[in-house]
Amino acid sequence: MTGSSPRPLSLGVATASYQIEGAVAEDGRGPSIWDTFAARPGAVRGGDDGTHACDSYHRLDDDVALVRDLGVDAYRFSVAWPRVQPEGTGRIEPRGLDYYERLVDRLLAEGIEPVATLYHWDLPQPLEDAGGWPERRTAEAFVDYARAVHDRLGDRVTSWATHNEPWCAAYLGYAAGVHAPGRQEGEAAHRAAHHLVLSHAWAAEALGDAHTGIVLNLAPVWAESDDPGDLAVADGVDAIRNRVWLDPLVDGAYDEGLLRVAPVLADPGLVRPGDLEAARGSAAWLGINYYTPVRPRRARGDAPPHPEQGAFPGVADLDLVVREPRTDIGWEVEPRGLEELLVRTHERTGLPLVITENGAAYADQVVVDGRVEDADRIAYVRDHLAAVARARAAGADVRGYFVWTLMDNFEWAEGYAKTFGLVHVDRSSPSLTRTPKASFHWFAEQVAAPARGRGAAGLVSP
């Protein structure tokens, strides 16, 4: 699994605050945009929400014990901004920070490296009420929040990510409207994208921590054919999915192809002097969340609707094609996409790379005699780990691989219907009993394999 890279690949498992914690009104936590969005009729499948989620807020010790039993090197979690700053600005709620401090200390006591993400989509509602990410003041507020978390945990957490998948926060949230806050305003989504990049850059600077990166759901964008129409829409999709993040981070610029679909990014009222310079070089490492490739083509009027169709504002006449085989959430399984993405991103950025999420939703996991069989998930992770090994052998500087996710949880607009976990959570009773699936035991064996070596302490240290 190590390829030609000198250091062993760190193996881990990832979660996010709103998806697992529950306890939404406890210890002073304020409302987030996901509380509000999930309460909107029809926004989330089955009317589900994160009120209880996996109740991880109350089961911290049990859940850390699961991570320990998995044997992994690292655990990636996110901090809920509304727990730390219930109003989004100003007053800090120490009980919120206490929770994450307990989590970090428990992990460290078990020899597990904590990897913290500052923003995994739970924006404090008061900030959205004031305009949300399309407004510059949200980026300013993020820096204060980031500093407060880092002041408390920076002596123990050495791997930090500012944002998780800002493409989703900007374009699913403000253009497609299928994620919180559920707005369908294309230009606002581009404005949000700029402020997410900027807030990352400012926070990385404020933290003064050499280990601050950002997690992007970059995707290989494969036009369905070489037809100029297909290539043109694919370029627009690539601009919004990949280049709007990588270009400012690497070059301190937005390119022409992006400006064609997002002319607002040339507006000096939005992109102010110094913004792009601040972005350039601001990521010490890149997290990549990979699930599936994107296959655009010019619309022919016969494609089934795709939930992300509206997430590429400015790209006209777009179809998104999904090939077989697919997981239960409808995403094509294609490990070669991960290999290509890692090699290309390595060449493009030269940064240390971590696969901060990869995994699969599969259905029908029932507990029989204490076992949950999920051979399809094992095959998915096995084949993607093989792709990582090939990318490393080709020279990509990949430091870590995190399975999404530790346990079945609140899958955003899909509610609890789509399950990605290595651990089954019984939602049929309030006990929320956790049962490790076959994939959990299989992954534990991969982690323990003597040939692997142990992941280096300090996932992204030089």
Instruction: State the catalytic residues.
Output: 165, 357
Query: Cα separation of 271 and 358, whole Å?
Result: 33
- Is residue 376 at the binding interface for ligand IFM, with CB under 6 A as the rule? no
Query: Cα separation of 43 and 414, whole Å?
Result: 9
How near is the Cβ of 395 to ligand IFM at its closest, in Å?
27
- Residue 428 CB coordination number (10 Å): 7
Owner of token pair 């320990």: 68
Sole binder of ligand IFM in the list 34, 145, 202, 404 (CB under 6 A): 404
Cβ closer to ligand IFM: 319 or 411? 411
- Is residue 362 at the binding interface for ligand IFM, with CB under 6 A as the rule? no
Query: Cα separation of 328 and 88, whole Å?
Result: 36
How near is the Cβ of 74 to ligand IFM at its closest, in Å?
17
How near is the Cβ of 121 to ligand IFM at its closest, in Å?
7
How near is the Cβ of 81 to ligand IFM at its closest, in Å?
15
What single-letter DSSP state applies at residue 7? S
For residues 178 and 45, the answer to whether their CB atoms sit within 8 Å is no
- Is residue 162 at the binding interface for ligand IFM, with CB under 6 A as the rule? no
Query: Cα separation of 394 and 246, whole Å?
Result: 21
Residue 331, class by beta-carbon neighbours within 10 Å (0-12 exposed, 13-18 middle, 19+ buried)?
middle
Cβ closer to ligand IFM: 131 or 307? 307
How near is the Cβ of 411 to ligand IFM at its closest, in Å?
5
Cβ closer to ligand IFM: 99 or 410? 410
Cβ closer to ligand IFM: 119 or 420? 420
- The b/e string for 71-103 (b: 16+ C-beta within 10 A; e otherwise) is bbbbbbbbbbbbbbbbebeeebbeebbebbeeb
Task: Write the DSSP string, 299-323.
Answer: --S-SPP-TTGGGSTT--SEEEE-P
Q: Show the tokens assigned to 210.
A: 């050499």
How near is the Cβ of 242 to ligand IFM at its closest, in Å?
16
Residue 379, class by beta-carbon neighbours within 10 Å (0-12 exposed, 13-18 middle, 19+ buried)?
middle
User: Which residues are bridge partners to 358 per DSSP?
Assistant: 403
Site string (412-441) toward ligand IFM, x via CB under 6 A: --------x---------------------
For residues 435 and 424, the answer to whether their CB atoms sit within 8 Å is yes
Cβ closer to ligand IFM: 67 or 143? 67
Query: Cα separation of 186 and 183, whole Å?
Result: 9
Amino acid occupying residue 153: L
Nearest residue relative to ligand IFM (C-beta): 16
How near is the Cβ of 367 to ligand IFM at its closest, in Å?
22
For residues 287 and 215, the answer to whether their CB atoms sit within 8 Å is yes
Sole binder of ligand IFM in the list 9, 16, 139, 387 (CB under 6 A): 16
How near is the Cβ of 317 to ligand IFM at its closest, in Å?
27
Cβ closer to ligand IFM: 37 or 254? 37
Sole binder of ligand IFM in the list 17, 85, 162, 289 (CB under 6 A): 289
Cβ closer to ligand IFM: 244 or 361? 361
Task: Please tell me the count of residues contacting ligand IFM according to CB under 6 A.
Answer: 8
Cβ closer to ligand IFM: 174 or 404? 404
User: What length is written for the chain?
Assistant: 462
What single-letter DSSP state applies at residue 244? H
- Is residue 411 at the binding interface for ligand IFM, with CB under 6 A as the rule? yes
- Is residue 357 at the binding interface for ligand IFM, with CB under 6 A as the rule? yes
Q: Which residues bind ligand IFM (CB under 6 A)?
A: 16, 19, 165, 289, 357, 404, 411, 420
